[in-house]
Structure 1
Amino acid sequence: MKKIHIIGLGLLGGSFALALKKVFPDWEITGFDNDPEHMAMALEMGLISRKLEVPQEDTDAVILATPVDTLLGLLEKTLEQVGPNTLVMDFGSTKGQLCRQMATHPKRNQYLAVHPIAGTENSGPGAAAGNLFDGKVLIICEMEKTDIHLKGLAYDIFEAVNMKLRFMDPGDHDLHLAFVSHLSHVSSFVLGKTVLDKTKDEKNIFDMAGSGFASTVRLAKSSPAMWAPIFLENKENVLEAMDSYIEHLSQFRSMIAEGNVDGLNHEMLEANKIRDILDIKE
């Protein structure tokens, strides 16, 4: 029987607990969350068997699923608390700064930097779903710096919950995520704010909101407590992505203002190519 401890029992931590319970029903899964309501809900839902503020020294693996601005301090503290045979992983959405700061840590070989590309716009343990990770990509950074035996345990776990492993440099990870994930959230938050400002004058605007608006603004329901730290932690890459987006948006605006139908058609046809990349079928 393995002992797994999860710190942060929201969407990712709670869902991972459910996934582990499904494939490893005999494993002991403990956890902790700073939010008393989340802690109580996690126990009520049976996400964990019991609350532990400090992982046991013989815990096999500790998963950190808290906001990115808490991870460095929490990672260092956790490594101090566990024994030499415990693996510690974080689920953070940024990896560059954390990997740089951990580079010379005396227990660096007990740490594995991972990022599951899984989630929804909902948060908290009530949003946890046992199939959240099923078939999803898991990015692993600097795998060569982790002890081979501990890394083997991680691979066994991720294979058991049916995740697809990908390996990336931390800097490349942060740059790519800024464009395909972080920018999407910025756009959604700003679109939601733009429309909400308009409703101050036109109360019935949401009566005209269709599925297109709903899908585009869905991410605006995401947790600010999670996303504000991500934007700031990955600031350089997020600003680069936003600058590029603003440039394209300004060009699009100019073509509309000028009545440039050929230009608009060309830009939209170019954007349509995203369907081929994402394998979206008509």
Structure 2
Amino acid sequence: MKKIHIIGLGLLGGSFALGAKKKLADLTITGYDANPQHQKDALTLEIISEAKETPDADTDLVILATPADTLGDLLLATLDQVGPNTLIFDVGSTKSKLTNLVAEHPKRAQYLAAHPIAGTEYSGPKAAFDDLLDRKVMIICELEKTDLHLKEKAYELFEALNLKLRFMDPEEHDRHLAFVSHLSHISSFMLGETVLQKMADEKNIFDMAGSGFASTVRLAKSSPAMWAPIFTENQENILSALDSYIANLSSFREKIAQKDKEGLFNEMDEINKIRDILDLEK
């Protein structure tokens, strides 16, 4: 593999570039970002060697790392542009719409539906770093629909970055992500909003904010430009997750209202079992 082109030079796109440059020799990485400052920063930080809107004809891999609601049109346009030896993969948080969109495309075999479970609360090329993807999970959907020889180009990159591959159905992916990722971000944003509203009346509230608050609200520092499209693209699954979450909050509130100490203890004690599950996943 000699050439990679990245569209979207933020945290994920930039980190793919930096990680690839660190692990793969004689690699040329070009890229494009609709934000002129991001593109300038990517050049300054040597994330890319050249800024260009479209990939060269002999590009091995094109990585699409733009907001979720832009990926559909971008994927179709890029498939139409590339030659027969180029593989495209995206890193978006939703997969069903994309896989359905390209299901009948004549170049469907040149697309790999992928999603790295990696990120921080920061965004933009300045947030990118070469080890972001190290030992992270990369979810692959509909692997069987990607050309056998072209997918080896992606595998070469994934192996170099030390990614752990998992395979899922697109609908299953979107449903599960609504609970374990998207709902987490909504919870963090709403906790942040609730405290900010309280701060309007009580200026010293943040003096009492300890590590528990900081860790819980950390995700509220995430980019709205990234997350607003994810919430709307995965609307049906997120609404289902929110309904369950709100029902649980209402039930917990009722126990507090009734001073049901035993009920509160038993519920939290049961939830504590998540500790064992998370420890096994490490």
State the TM-score bracket (shorter-chain normalisation). Answer: over 0.9
CA deviation after TM superposition for structure 1 residue 80, in Å: 1.2
Tell me the amino acid that sits aligned with residue 118 of structure 1. Answer: A
Instruction: State the alpha-carbon separation in 2 of the partners of residues 22 and 125 from structure 1.
Output: 16
CA deviation after TM superposition for structure 1 residue 238, in Å: 0.3
Find out whether 1:69 has 2:69 as its counterpart: yes
State the SS of the aligned residue for 2:150. helix
Corresponding position of 2:152: 152
CA deviation after TM superposition for structure 1 residue 157, in Å: 1.0
Corresponding position of 1:201: 201
Instruction: State the alpha-carbon separation in 2 of the partners of residues 97 and 5 from structure 1.
Output: 23
CA deviation after TM superposition for structure 1 residue 58, in Å: 1.1
CA deviation after TM superposition for structure 1 residue 156, in Å: 1.4
Q: Which string of whole-angstrom CA distances, capped at 9 and with x for unpartnered residues, describes residues 191-236 of structure 1? A: 1000000000000100100000000000001011110110111011
Corresponding position of 1:239: 239
Tell me the amino acid that sits aligned with residue 94 of structure 1. Answer: T
RMSD: 1.1
Find out whether 1:93 has 2:93 as its counterpart: yes
CA deviation after TM superposition for structure 1 residue 57, in Å: 1.2
State the SS of the aligned residue for 1:148. coil
CA deviation after TM superposition for structure 1 residue 272, in Å: 0.6
CA deviation after TM superposition for structure 1 residue 49, in Å: 0.8
Instruction: State the alpha-carbon separation in 1 of the partners of residues 55 and 250 from structure 2.
Output: 51
State the SS of the aligned residue for 1:88. strand
Find out whether 1:250 has 2:257 as its counterpart: no
Q: Which string of whole-angstrom CA distances, capped at 9 and with x for unpartnered residues, describes residues 42-66 of structure 1? A: 0000001111111111111100000
Find out whether 1:184 has 2:184 as its counterpart: yes
Corresponding position of 1:50: 50
Tell me the amino acid that sits aligned with residue 230 of structure 1. Answer: I
- Between stretches 95-104 and 111-120, larger displacement belongs to 95-104
State the SS of the aligned residue for 1:140. strand
Corresponding position of 1:30: 30
- TM-score for the superposition, normalised by structure 2: 0.98
State the SS of the aligned residue for 2:9. coil
CA deviation after TM superposition for structure 1 residue 158, in Å: 0.2
CA deviation after TM superposition for structure 1 residue 101, in Å: 1.1
Q: Which string of whole-angstrom CA distances, capped at 9 and with x for unpartnered residues, describes residues 217-262 of structure 1? A: 0000101111011011101100010000001100100000000001
Instruction: State the alpha-carbon separation in 2 of the partners of residues 206 and 15 from structure 1.
Output: 33
Tell me the amino acid that sits aligned with residue 258 of structure 1. Answer: Q
Instruction: State the alpha-carbon separation in 2 of the partners of residues 70 and 115 from structure 1.
Output: 15
- Between stretches 271-280 and 112-121, larger displacement belongs to 271-280
Instruction: State the alpha-carbon separation in 2 of the partners of residues 265 and 90 from structure 1.
Output: 44
CA deviation after TM superposition for structure 1 residue 25, in Å: 3.3
Instruction: State the alpha-carbon separation in 1 of the partners of residues 125 and 149 from structure 2.
Output: 31
**% of aligned pairs identical?**
69
Instruction: State the alpha-carbon separation in 2 of the partners of residues 55 and 258 from structure 1.
Output: 63
Correspondences of 1:100-179 after superposition (within 5 Å): 100-179=100-179
Instruction: State the alpha-carbon separation in 2 of the partners of residues 273 and 18 from structure 1.
Output: 38
Instruction: State the alpha-carbon separation in 2 of the partners of residues 57 and 72 from structure 1.
Output: 21
Instruction: State the alpha-carbon separation in 1 of the partners of residues 262 and 150 from structure 2.
Output: 57
Corresponding position of 1:228: 228
Which runs of no fewer than 5 residues in structure 2 stay unpaired? none
Q: Which string of whole-angstrom CA distances, capped at 9 and with x for unpartnered residues, describes residues 147-187 of structure 1? A: 00011111111011100000000000000000000000000
Tell me the amino acid that sits aligned with residue 248 of structure 1. Answer: N
Instruction: State the alpha-carbon separation in 1 of the partners of residues 234 and 186 from structure 2.
Output: 13
State the SS of the aligned residue for 1:246. helix
Corresponding position of 1:81: 81
Q: Matched residue pairs, number?
A: 281
Instruction: State the alpha-carbon separation in 1 of the partners of residues 80 and 3 from structure 2.
Output: 18
Which runs of no fewer than 5 residues in structure 1 stay unpaired? none
CA deviation after TM superposition for structure 1 residue 16, in Å: 0.5
Corresponding position of 1:60: 60
